[in-house]
Structure 1
Amino acid sequence: MHVLVTGHQGYLGTVMVPLLVERGHTVVGLDTGWFADCLLGPAPAEPDALRIDLRDVTADRLRGFDAVIHLAALSNDPLGTLAPDVTHEINHHASVRLARAAKEAGVHRFLYASTCSVYGAAGADAVTEDAPLRPLTPYAVSKVRVEDDVAALADDDFVPVFLRNATAFGFSPRLRADIVVNDLTASAVLTGRVVVKSDGTPWRPLVHARDIAAAFVAALEAPEVRVRGRALNVGTEANNVTVAQVAETVAEVTGAEVVITGEYGADPRSYRVDFSEARRVLPEFVPHWGIRDGVVELAEAYDRHGLTADALAQRFTRLARITALQRAGELSETLQSVPAAAVHRA
């Protein structure tokens, strides 16, 4: 297929594009380039790409594609809380406009990167796709709204699929350090301490970046009757763990000391997830990565590529990176790219 991947220079996109190419698909990326140089280790091979803000995409840009894989978003809760209006403009409104433009352009399949955080505070039972959605942050709210609005576009010629990813972990050349496994492993490698600032009790479903990529490939290639309009949880029950359990695994692998400060108190976001529906609908998708495997991979990559505390705090933390681009005059308050000439004059 001829596939457009939005956010191809992000944490997940950098892992997903090579797998799509390996499967024989022709890939074009679409990205603002905010994180293009946020690399740990060698730069990956790049597909042909459109450098364009998601808010500016029109149907004309999408003609000729068989599928759109939509990963691009303001992608964590601290950033969403800082700028909730911009989060909804990009994550919700621009995503729905993208889907409508894709349908107008004759794109047949639209794969959307949603999140298991739509379940919010879900109680003790593992939730299925039919569970009530209780999003607790602007980021999660935006995902729920996109699912609702884009599902209404489904018909015989337009096949949206909503992949509710568990919290990602694992190495990517364009690393994210502001997600729990990656963060705690970095803390262990750099300081010898695994510092947990909550009380460690919240449950989190976790999934490796490569397993997310494999799930998207399976949904892209599955018969449309199986996936049209479906929301599917992406992950594996074995990776439903508490934050404290993640910390203990990191400590076992690295030899670091676990320190639970509790300074942030109890995190209300706590949920376990049932992934059996994805196994039924996408039998080709088999998750391979356990948390311990991911910690080993991350610790080795951090050491091999010389991760530093400064890079961790600046290049690989989404909120810090975006605020740095704003301070440099390269992004406006509404996260619009500022032309280079304007930056120079400033």
Structure 2
Amino acid sequence: MKVLVTGDTGYIGSVMVPMLVEEGFDVVGVDADLFEDCIFMPPQRPARHMRAHVGDLTQRDLEGFDAVFHLAALSNDPLGDLNPNLTYELNHAATVHLAMVAKQAGVGRFLFSSSCSLYGASGDGAVTEEAPFAPITPYARSKAMVEWSLSAMADRDFSPVFLRNATAYGLSPRLRFDLVLNNLTAWAVAKGRVLIKSDGTPWRPIVHIEDITRAFIAAARAPRERVHNEAFNIGRDEENYQIRDIADMVEQVVPDCVIEYAPGGEPDKRSYSVSFAKVRRQLPEFQPQWTARRGVEQLYEAYRQVGVSVEDFEGPRFRRIDTLKRLIAEGRLDASLRWTSPARERGPVEVAAAG
């Protein structure tokens, strides 16, 4: 199966692509490469990679692909708040454009990396895929908008599939430290404190990025009638946690650390637990392998080996929003987050050795 992976050099994509290659997929990656310098450890690259914004791709670019794995997005709430209109342009309008040219090119399956965050403040009980959307942030609203738009495009020749990922965690060459499990573990290793910035009560479902990849693989290979225009929460029922529960795990794994609450921490409006019964029922091929505790152990070992400081994960080196602000201030990106040098903005497919 030939697949186009958008956001292939991002946090999830740089882990997904090598797993897809190992599974026998023919992979081409595309990414604007805005965060190419945010490297925690040496990344692998797909055999073919194109530097481009997905909103600029054409029907010709999509010809010959069997599926699109669409990861590319402004991918967290601070980035979404940088310019909400730009968030909707890049996350919603560009995705709809990509889906349209994919459909015109005869791509049969479009797997969209959605998010459980579109449930927002869901109240009591584990929400199912039938729950109403209650997005709180521009990022979450953009995910809901994409689902509505792509669902209307579904027909006998074009199958969108919506993979609503739980909050991601896990080791990646382009690590994100703004994700709760990654962040709490980093604080514990760097400062001996598991710093909780809320009151610790919000609920979050969490899922390892390798298991997100396993879900994409299962959805790509499943019979059409099981996934056509369907949404799936991606994770495990037992991996719904309150933030303080994750902090407890970190305290148990990282020696000589203590839990600390930041002054003025308040309840986070984003609080939701999620049911994963549907993905177990309709995609039994999806078999997640990770638990939160194993994820803490993985990150603890990596942070110790590579070395991590507060300046790394709270400063400009890995904070995506700071990276964008710096590139804009230096004149390397314009206001639409496109490279100001045409040669850097878009290049042909580059052939390079993977690994």
What TM-score results when the alignment is normalised by the length of structure 2?
Answer: 0.94
Specify the alignment match of 2:298 in structure 1: 297
State the Cα deviation string for residues 35-70 of structure 1 (Å, max 9, x = none). Answer: 223222223243301111122111111111111000
Higher RCO by CA contacts (8 Å cutoff, separation 6 or greater): 2
Instruction: State the one-letter code of the partner of 2:158.
Output: F
The answer to whether the 8 A contact 1:199-1:262 is kept is no
Indicate yes or no: 2:21 matched with 1:21.
yes
Indicate yes or no: 2:313 matched with 1:315.
no
Q: Distance in 2 between matches of 1:93 and 1:60?
A: 19
Equivalent position SS for 1:40: coil
Instruction: State the one-letter code of the partner of 1:37.
Output: D
What TM-score results when the alignment is normalised by the length of structure 1?
Answer: 0.96
Equivalent position SS for 2:204: strand
Specify the alignment match of 1:330 in structure 2: 332
Specify the alignment match of 2:161 in structure 1: 161
Alignment of 1:267-278 (within 5 A): 267-278=268-279
Q: Distance in 1 between matches of 2:326 and 2:250?
A: 30
Range that drifts further, 123-132 or 42-51: 42-51
Q: Distance in 2 between matches of 1:262 and 1:99?
A: 45
The answer to whether the 8 A contact 1:196-1:262 is kept is no
Q: Distance in 2 between matches of 1:285 and 1:7?
A: 22
Root-mean-square deviation over aligned CA pairs: 1.4
Range that drifts further, 132-141 or 38-47: 38-47
Instruction: State the one-letter code of the partner of 2:274.
Output: V
Specify the alignment match of 1:285 in structure 2: 286
State the Cα deviation string for residues 226-256 of structure 1 (Å, max 9, x = none). Answer: 0000000000111100111111111111131
Q: Distance in 2 between matches of 1:210 and 1:55?
A: 27
Q: Distance in 2 between matches of 1:186 and 1:168?
A: 15
Alpha-carbon spacing, 1:140–1:44, altered in 2? closer, same or farther (3 Å): same
* Contiguous gaps of at least 5 residues in structure 1: none
Specify the alignment match of 1:105 in structure 2: 105
Following TM superposition, by how much is the alpha carbon of 1:156 offset from its aligned partner in structure 2, in angstroms?
A: 1.2
Equivalent position SS for 1:41: coil
Following TM superposition, by how much is the alpha carbon of 1:340 offset from its aligned partner in structure 2, in angstroms?
A: 7.1
Q: Distance in 2 between matches of 1:320 and 1:264?
A: 23
Identity %: 51
Alpha-carbon spacing, 1:142–1:341, altered in 2? closer, same or farther (3 Å): closer
Range that drifts further, 330-339 or 270-279: 330-339
Instruction: State the one-letter code of the partner of 1:34.
Output: L
Following TM superposition, by how much is the alpha carbon of 1:308 offset from its aligned partner in structure 2, in angstroms?
A: 3.2
Specify the alignment match of 2:48 in structure 1: 48
Specify the alignment match of 1:214 in structure 2: 214
Alignment of 1:1-346 (within 5 A): 1-255=1-255, 256-312=257-313, 313-339=315-341
Equivalent position SS for 2:122: strand
Q: Distance in 2 between matches of 1:12 and 1:327?
A: 27
Following TM superposition, by how much is the alpha carbon of 1:84 offset from its aligned partner in structure 2, in angstroms?
A: 0.2
Instruction: State the one-letter code of the partner of 1:331.
Output: L
Range that drifts further, 330-339 or 84-93: 330-339
Q: Distance in 2 between matches of 1:78 and 1:282?
A: 33
The answer to whether the 8 A contact 1:162-1:229 is kept is yes
Equivalent position SS for 1:270: coil
Q: Distance in 1 between matches of 2:25 and 2:69?
A: 12
Alpha-carbon spacing, 1:216–1:341, altered in 2? closer, same or farther (3 Å): closer
State the Cα deviation string for residues 134-190 of structure 1 (Å, max 9, x = none). Answer: 000100000001000001111111111000000000101111111100011111111
Following TM superposition, by how much is the alpha carbon of 1:114 offset from its aligned partner in structure 2, in angstroms?
A: 0.2
Instruction: State the one-letter code of the partner of 1:326.
Output: I
Range that drifts further, 300-309 or 149-158: 300-309
State the Cα deviation string for residues 116-140 of structure 1 (Å, max 9, x = none). Answer: 0010000111000001110001000
The answer to whether the 8 A contact 2:9-2:45 is kept is no
Following TM superposition, by how much is the alpha carbon of 1:307 offset from its aligned partner in structure 2, in angstroms?
A: 2.4
* Contiguous gaps of at least 5 residues in structure 2: 345-355
Following TM superposition, by how much is the alpha carbon of 1:78 offset from its aligned partner in structure 2, in angstroms?
A: 1.2
- For these two proteins, the number of residue pairs brought into alignment is 342
Q: Distance in 2 between matches of 1:338 and 1:92?
A: 23
The answer to whether the 8 A contact 1:200-1:262 is kept is no
Instruction: State the one-letter code of the partner of 2:89.
Output: E
Alpha-carbon spacing, 1:340–1:314, altered in 2? closer, same or farther (3 Å): farther
Instruction: State the one-letter code of the partner of 2:292.
Output: I
Q: Distance in 2 between matches of 1:79 and 1:37?
A: 17
